Amino acid sequence: MPEPAKHQDASLDHVLKYTGVFGGVQGINILIGIIRNKLASKFLGAAGIGLMGFYISITDFVNNCSNLGIPISSVQHISELFEEDDLARIRSFIKVVRTWCLWSALFACLLCMGATFYDRHVILLAPMAVSAILTGGEISILKGLRRLKRVAVISLLVAVATFCLTIPFFWALGMKGIIISLDCCALATLAIHLIFTVPLFPWRVAPTSADIFRRGLPLLRIGIPYVLTGIAGAGVTVALQTFLKEHSSEATLGYYRVGYTMMVTYAGIIFTALEADYFPRLSSVNHDEVRRNQTINRQIRACMLLLAPMLIALIVMMPVLLRVLYTEEFLPAVEMTVCAVFYMFFRCISVPVAYTALARGDSKVYMIMEIIYDAFSLTAIILCYLQWQLAGIGIGLSLSALFDTLLVGICYNRRYGLHIEMHTLRLTLQQMVLLALTVTACLGLPPLWKYIAGFMLLIVSATCSYVVLRRESDIVQRIVQKFTSWRRLQSS
């Protein structure tokens, strides 16, 4: 067991340190994913990409209906036990977590069997659903114990395994290989996680123990509202993709999936990198309003500093990236991604804030906020799509993120004393203006002038981030020192 690392919310350097660890790994993951998606688009086409996304959405829905919120609620409790350095209680609680995950996985299997009325292929997704729930339990153990480097290594191995297990099926079977490849990837992901967690805590469960059942019930107080939230979110995704499939075509579904991947999944590496360390830190200071606000503000600034320049570069180069990463068939997704850029920008604020309710164990508030957001999001995206087609999906996503930011900001200010610091607000406004100018250039200027204006705005955005990083963190100086030392070594 590692020694407890107290007060990890102390500086922006800590946030950026783990962002660097996870961001580097996620960067490699995305490189692998780019190659995988390029080959998948060749073998499957837009219709196949859309169908694969549809099956993944169904599995996510089953997972959210079945996991009882154990992965999120157990991270909070394990993190608190880790702060207390109580190894015996940690070992005992991990047994509770794994047992409840096993029961949840069996329920997911039954749910897949009963969902064949919706789509006869759902029963074939049962191995994927079961593996996802069991994997969620193992991830929660590692995150709660702050074994973040293991999480990063696992993420890399999963990316490699996914590549090796998908492309051969796509090449040999085409669209018929989608489900079997998804199942194989899920089983491999579970196996990789167990390889890293079982040496720390041997896999023990007690599915018939009444004591284990009773001890797991408090997790449901947090978990069940989280389940309902997950069901609402996954339900919106399934409903939207069903709407697109029925009112347009599987090719349109493919354009949407690729556009979402480019703007949300790839840019979302920052959130993946930050979230792994953020929630345990926030949970450990959830009763201290001052430290909680400091942690939230640092998280927002870290997101903004890293993500804003990336978003500008992404939308400026989007036509080129789609040609390189996929094929010209997917160019209709360009306008959607450009219009969706503010979705990711506003999530820099709403995501760190939204975790406050979970860290406080106030899952009912979190559930209400998320369900209101989901209802608004589905309505806004469908209405905008009917008005502006694919570009409307991007507009709807951006409007929903703005609504969510205002919703959680106002409500959490009144309930938890949330306070956005002035320098956080100033940084946000600066980057928002630069992003708005970039969107205007991308949609309104000829290609040559678009690239010139876009790169100038990128330089300004990156400079703003650099100035703040240099002022608030010594990470820039450390990088320069390491580079200088390396140059001296080379010259000697």
Q: What is the pLDDT of residues 382-429, one digit of tens each?
A: 999 999 989 999 999 999 999 999 999 999 999 999 999 998 999 999
The predicted structure's pLDDT at residue 124? 86
Q: What average pLDDT does the structure give for the chain?
A: 82
Q: Residue 2's pLDDT band (boundaries 50, 70, 90)?
A: very low
Task: Domain of residue 275: give its range.
Answer: 12-478
Kindly state the tokens that stand for 64.
Answer: 């959210």
The predicted structure's pLDDT at residue 311? 93
Of the candidates 228, 233, 241, 259, which has an alpha carbon nearest to the alpha carbon of residue 119? Answer: 241
Q: What is the mean pLDDT of residues 271-278?
A: 63
Give domain status of residue 2, yes or no.
no
Domain count, the chain: 1
Of the candidates 140, 159, 155, 276, which has an alpha carbon nearest to the alpha carbon of residue 197? Answer: 140
% of the chain with per-residue pLDDT over 90: 30
Would you say 355 and 71 are in contact if contact means Cβ atoms under 8 Å apart? no
Q: Does 226 or 1 have the greater pLDDT score?
A: 226
Give domain status of residue 483, yes or no.
no
Q: 184-228: per-residue pLDDT in tens?
A: 999 999 999 999 999 989 989 999 899 989 988 888 777 777 778
The predicted structure's pLDDT at residue 483? 46
Q: Does 176 or 450 have the greater pLDDT score?
A: 450
Q: 428-443: per-residue pLDDT in tens?
A: 999 999 999 999 999 9
The predicted structure's pLDDT at residue 21? 46
Helices of type H across 248-362: 250-260, 269-284, 289-316, 318-325, 334-339, 341-359
Give domain status of residue 137, yes or no.
yes
Give domain status of residue 157, yes or no.
yes
The predicted structure's pLDDT at residue 403? 97
The predicted structure's pLDDT at residue 355? 84
Give domain status of residue 46, yes or no.
yes
Q: Residue 273's pLDDT band (boundaries 50, 70, 90)?
A: low
Give domain status of residue 371, yes or no.
yes
Would you say 238 and 57 are in contact if contact means Cβ atoms under 8 Å apart? yes
- The alpha carbon dihedral of 45, 48, 52, 54 has a sign of positive
Give domain status of residue 226, yes or no.
yes
Give domain status of residue 486, yes or no.
no
State which of 36-40, 108-112, 361-365, 452-456 shows the largest mean pLDDT.
Answer: 452-456
